[in-house]
Amino acid sequence: VVVKFSATWCKNCKEIAATYRDLADKYPSLVFLSVDVDEMTEFCTSFDIKATPTFYFLRSGQPMDKLVGANKVELRRKLATIAELSARM
């Protein structure tokens, strides 16, 4: 599961939104979720979100990895690794 924590007012969130959608299409075996930090503040607090966008990579409900910021190259790299690991299981 990939969870993107973002906000409607966040410039970097808007810049990475299309990439996130493209990656969701590229990796249909993974579940992609989006959480608005302003609408789900309590939930975001439980994940200790301090900046947007923040991406959490979960497995069996537990965090495997995290990416803070709109680094498209790093997001693609992490997802390729996770998809490869998921395919082996």
Average pLDDT, the chain: 93
The band of 8, judged by pLDDT with boundaries at 50, 70 and 90, is very high
Catalytic residues: 10, 13
pLDDT tens profile 44-79: 888 999 999 999 999 888 999 999 999 999 999 999
By residue range, what is the domain housing residue 39?
Answer: 2-88
Query: In sequence order, which residues have a C-beta less than 8 Å from that of residue 33 and are 6 or more positions away?
Result: 1, 2, 3, 4
The pLDDT value given to residue 49 = 94
Specify the CATH number for the domain of residue 47. Answer: 3.40.30.10
The pLDDT value given to residue 87 = 76
Query: What share of the chain in percent tops pLDDT 70?
Result: 99
The pLDDT value given to residue 60 = 86
Looking at the structure of the chain, the number of domains it has is: 1
